[in-house]
């Protein structure tokens, strides 16, 4: 009977991340409730949470990609100038 327990456990651990329908963030599949928005009760708070998170995503990801490209270009220019 130990086999059943084991496979049930490994299936649970291998669960893919869930995407929360409420706030749009991902959370581990073993969590029953989204940890990001479970404490948010009102729709107003949820909207401001989502807006804030979207801003962070936009502000956080694009500059990093730009910096990486910039560094690669600099590296190539430096290499070519040697």
Cβ proximity to Zn ion: between 56 and 74 the closer is 56
How far, in Å, CA of 72 to CA of 75, rounded?
5
Residues, the chain, total? 82
Cβ proximity to Zn ion: between 52 and 62 the closer is 52
User: Residue 51 CB, nearest distance to Zn ion (Å)?
Assistant: 14
How far, in Å, CA of 75 to CA of 77, rounded?
5
User: Residue 21 CB, nearest distance to Zn ion (Å)?
Assistant: 8
User: Residue 46 CB, nearest distance to Zn ion (Å)?
Assistant: 8
How far, in Å, CA of 4 to CA of 11, rounded?
11
Residues at the contact surface with Zn ion, assessed by CB under 5 A? 20, 22-23, 34, 36-37
């Amino acid at each position: 009977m130990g086999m059943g327990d084991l496979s049930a456990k490994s299936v649970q651990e291998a669960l893919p991340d869930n995407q929360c329908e409420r706030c749009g963030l991902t959370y581990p599949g073993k969590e029953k409730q989204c940890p990001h928005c479970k404490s948010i009760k009102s729709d107003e708070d949820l909207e401001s949470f989502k807006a804030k998170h979207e801003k962070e995503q936009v502000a956080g990801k694009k500059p990093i990609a730009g910096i990486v490209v910039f560094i690669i270009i600099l590296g190539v220019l430096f290499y070519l100038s040697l």
